[in-house]
Structure 1
Amino acid sequence: MKTLIRKVTPHTVVFFGSMSIMILELVASRIIAKYFGSSLYTWTGVIGVVLAGISLGNYIGGRLADRFKPSSVIFPLLLTSSGLVFLVLVLDLVLGSIMRDAATIVTAVMVVRSLAVIVLLFFIPSTFLGMNAPIMAKYALELNLKVGTTVGSIYAVSSLGSILGTFLAGFVLIPSFDIRIIIFIVSLVIASLSFLVIGKKLVTVGVMAAIVVLFLVFQTADPDGLIGTGDDEVLYSRHSQHAHIQVKDFKTGDRIDVRTLIMNGLQHNRHDPANPDNLLYEYERIFGAITEYYISTMRDPSSFTALTLGGGAMTFPAYMERRWDPRRNSVVEIDPRVVELAFEYFDVPRDTEMNIVVADARAYVNTVRDERTYDLIYLDAFSSFSIPYHLTTRQFADELDQILVPDGVIMANVIDIFSIGRFLNAYRNTLAAVFPHVRVYSGPALPTTTRSTFVIVASRTPIIPDTIRDTRGVLVASTISDEMLADLVERNGPLVLTDTYSPVENLIAPVFLQAIN
């Protein structure tokens, strides 16, 4: 039995070590998202830092394997790796208490800051986990003289462990468990591997017991809840399948001024609990005023149908339901947890007549694309730092056209800096490649050098006027002049986004890097 255990030890350690690295990498992206959002930049940072750690670990592990007997090195290495993985929980707790503004303020050095945090949390654990493979390869070679077969099998189980870790984290662990529980499990698994190698088993038991005790202590602390200022109260803070989500109340004394839905560090919805019909975002007010005008032109206003892609906390779809009671009010939201939070915290009744669909927006559109179903389509899935590229392309615009009635209107919320306007220009060009009439609306005051919200309106007929006013006659929005749009194209070119080329991260980079509140 001991001989069998000794023979399978190298492959077992490498398999679970590789699996742990991939789980840690996917978990890392979730932890970083709550501080800096989820974007190409943060994902690039996580992948790059973890790979750098593995590479350095492979090199150091090879040197250690040449210098020391593998069986004497692997025991302390596994226990140290276990402790370093668990240390991520401690460091995350500390970061949660000192990075109070990370969820609302982005500076021009955010990329550097995010890289620094990624390195602090994950570089050293990745390095130590990366040491396992060369040491275990040397261990296996001591048991088997077939060099090619031995090394090949070590590489194979390493790859299999990485594959299983990826699938396990993405399909099972992250959707089912709190991030802290996942890190705790990974730490225990790594420590338990030391039972297979020569070493004092009592030490292993002690390390695992310490990890369990410390985890129970840290369960009473919430690093997520510590992000924010003294003027807010965290009502909810958890990871879902798709994002790190928080619900916060911003208060003046005991009065709740605003309730917010924050996803990956960015505010997605703002809600006035005292007056749910008070639309707090400018683009929502523009949506509302355009909707009011459109309905006024209909022969049968009660028959209009609406589709919102990117429901979030459903502040606008719920407002639309209360104000106009559409014949059909469909809302598509990809995250089922966000839908549940809309019911729980944002005054959306569970018996609502809205047709709420949990799905990817494009996947849903493809299921209804053979029917011209909707009068109004609201595209509210773009944030300033994270844009689902597959919803920005000419092909998707064609698909939207297929579900729009002939005199229907599409409204898209876009965030950009007009003086640069790379994404605004490209997305306008893209819609104009499909729809004959495309206009860009902004609020009464258009800041040209800072982050601003725009609403792009696309249709097959010229329905919406140049200026939009609310029911009181107050100016809500007006179109950006043809001269300004011509300058926008001259600065950025005639780029049209397609399924094969949609560099939205590069286009939105100036917004990502500009300091905002």
Structure 2
Amino acid sequence: MTLPSGATAAFVRDDDEFVLVVDGTPQSAVNPDDPTQLSFGYIRHMGHVIDLAYPEHEALTVLHLGGGALTLPRYIDATRPRSRQQVVELEPELMAFVRRTLPLDPSAAIRIRYGDAREQLGRLPAGIRGRVDIAIVDVFAGARTPAHVTSVEFFTEVRELLVPDGLVLVNIADGHELVFARGEVATLVEVFGEVTLIADPATLKGRRFGNITAVAGAHGVELPGIERRVASGFPPATVLPTRATREWLRGTPPVHDADATPSPLPGRQTFTQRRSGGW
């Protein structure tokens, strides 16, 4: 289908999964019979973080900035029943298409709001302020993250929604010189202090365009066993705790609204084919 923005969206069947493709870029995948299946590497890493950061089956309050195919909201609802989830998505037509093709469980406590992710932060219910356990930032306009959701000012607004020991999970797409990725991670360090990175080693070294999962928390990021979990998945990933993350930054300064830029475009062939074991 063609969205009002001009982008095209489609679901492509891949074995048991439906892959949401927007403007030729695979965004997320859902197995409607098993919502715990996470085939995209960075989404699987986020699932591991959620599993390890909180006691098993504990209900959470989660804010998702960026809806996609609602992969993680479905995962959290399946693994942590009674969780309260708010999803902010820019394009109602895209979400209607997703929900029509892959309906949500009617009993899921998933509320969807429409509009720009940053603008909607100030319009969320007053009762959610200071009560969000996890904020997941996975905002894309086509294949790029918009500049205004990458800055110190933006993440300061997100921080105000969290419980004191809450976490922020951010999907960062970059490659080559990693200028964008280092800037966004430096921003997270500036706002939260503690940041752990999870990614394919080749991506962290700038040898390949890919996704980096950043996990930020003002009171530390405790993820016992995360190294073993991500190393055994596909593609095998590595973990940089806060000290190693600061070294990886190479002195990069944080990004503010005045100098923020969108993420770079991936190469045409970067995300076009599923590799054995996942995306």
Same fold (TM over 0.5): yes
Instruction: Classify the secondary structure of the residue corresponding to 1:431.
Output: helix
> Residue deviations 1:16-51, cap 9 Å, x none?
xxxxxxxxxxxxxxxxxxxxxxxxxxxxxxxxxxxx
Q: Which of these two proteins has the greater Rg computed from alpha carbons?
A: 1
Matches within 5 A, 1:118-267: 238-250=1-13, 256-267=15-26
Q: Which whole-Å CA distance do the structure 2 matches of 1:482 and 1:472 have between them?
A: 17
1:234-313 equivalences under 5 Å are: 238-250=1-13, 256-296=15-55, 301-302=58-59, 304-313=60-69
Aligned with residue 184 of structure 2, among 412, 415, 427: 427
Q: What is the total number of aligned residue pairs between the two structures? A: 265
Tell me the amino acid that sits aligned with residue 495 of structure 1.
P
Letter in 2 for 1:489: L
Identity of aligned residues (%): 21
Task: Identify unmatched segments of 5+ residues in structure 1.
Answer: 1-237
**Partner residue, 1:355:** 111
**Partner of residue 249, structure 2:** 489
Among 104, 121, 124, which residue is 1:365 paired with?
121
Deviation at 1:369, TM superposition (A): 8.5
| Equivalent position amino acid for 1:415 in 2 | A
Equivalent residue, structure 1, for 2:277:
none
Displacement of 1:489: 3.1
Taking the aligned partners of 1:330 and 1:352, their CA distance within structure 2 comes to: 11
Which of residues 250, 266, 272 is equivalent to 1:512?
266
Q: Deviation per CA, 1:123-142, whole angstroms, max 9, x where unpaired?
A: xxxxxxxxxxxxxxxxxxxx
Hey, what's the Cα distance between the residues in 2 that align with 1:514 and 1:495? Answer: 30
Deviations 1:440-490 (A, max 9, x none): 1125x5443111221111111113237516889957754226786456433
Gaps of at least 5 residues in structure 2 are: 273-279
Identify the residue that residue 72 of structure 2 maps to in structure 1: 316
Tell me, in whole angstroms, the C-alpha distance in 2 between the residues paired with 1:287 and 1:513. Answer: 24
Q: Counterpart amino acid of 1:286?
A: H
Q: Is residue 2:98 matched to residue 1:332? A: no
Measure how far apart 1:427 and its partner are.
Answer: 0.1
Q: Distance in 1 between matches of 2:68 and 2:242?
A: 33
Q: Tell me the equivalent position of 1:78.
A: none
Q: Shift in Å at residue 274 of structure 1?
A: 4.7
Letter of the structure 2 residue corresponding to residue 498 of structure 1:
H
The residue number in structure 2 matching 1:460 is 218
More helix by share: 1
CA distance in 1, matches of 2:232, 2:178: 27
For the residue of structure 2 that corresponds to 1:424, the secondary structure is: helix
Residue type matched to 1:512 in 2?
P
For 2:6 and 2:68, the matched residues in 1 are separated by 12
Contact (CA 8 Å) 1:289, 1:469: kept in 2 or not? no
TM-aligned CA deviation for residue 347 of structure 1: 3.8
| 1:325 alignment partner, SS class | coil
CA distance in 2, matches of 1:369, 1:351: 21
Q: Counterparts of 2:46 and 2:62 in 1: how far apart (Å)?
A: 12
What's the CA shift for 1:405?
0.5
Q: Provide the secondary structure at the position in 2 that maps to 1:494.
A: coil
Q: Does 1:501 align with 2:264?
A: no
**What displacement does 1:269 show?**
1.6
State the distance in 2 between where 1:496 and 1:469 align: 27
Secondary structure in 2 matching 1:311: coil
Q: 1:356 to 1:458 in 2, by over 3 A?
A: same
- Residue identity opposite 1:436 in structure 2: G
SS of the residue corresponding to residue 191 of structure 2 reads coil
Work out whether residues 272 and 280 of structure 1, in 8 Å CA contact, stay in contact via their aligned partners in 2.
no
Do residues 391 (structure 1) and 145 (structure 2) align? no
Distance 2:83 2:22 in 1: 31
Structure-2 separation of matches of 1:369 and 1:341: 26
Equivalent residue letter for 1:322: A
> 1:340–1:352: structure 2 CA closer, same or farther, 3 Å change rule?
farther
Distance 1:470 1:330, change over 3 A: farther
| Higher strand proportion | 2
The answer to which of 422-431 and 481-490 deviates more is 481-490
Query: Which of 195, 215, 227 does residue 438 from structure 1 map onto?
Result: 195
Q: Deviation at 1:295?
A: 1.6
Q: What is the one-letter code of the residue matched to 1:342?
A: V
Residue aligned with 1:355, SS: strand
1: CA distance, partners of 2:107 / 2:254: 42
Pick 1 or 2: higher relative contact order, CA cutoff 8 A, min separation 6: 2
- How much has 1:344 moved relative to structure 2? 1.4
RMSD after superposition: 3.0
**Aligned residues of 1:362 and 1:391 also touching (Cα < 8 A):** yes
Matched-pair contact (CA < 8 Å) for 1:307–1:376: yes
Deviations 1:388-445 (A, max 9, x none): 111111101110110011010000011122x5211110000111111121121125x5
Q: Distance in 1 between matches of 2:242 and 2:35?
A: 36
Q: Distance in 1 between matches of 2:199 and 2:231?
A: 17
Aligned position for 1:404: 162
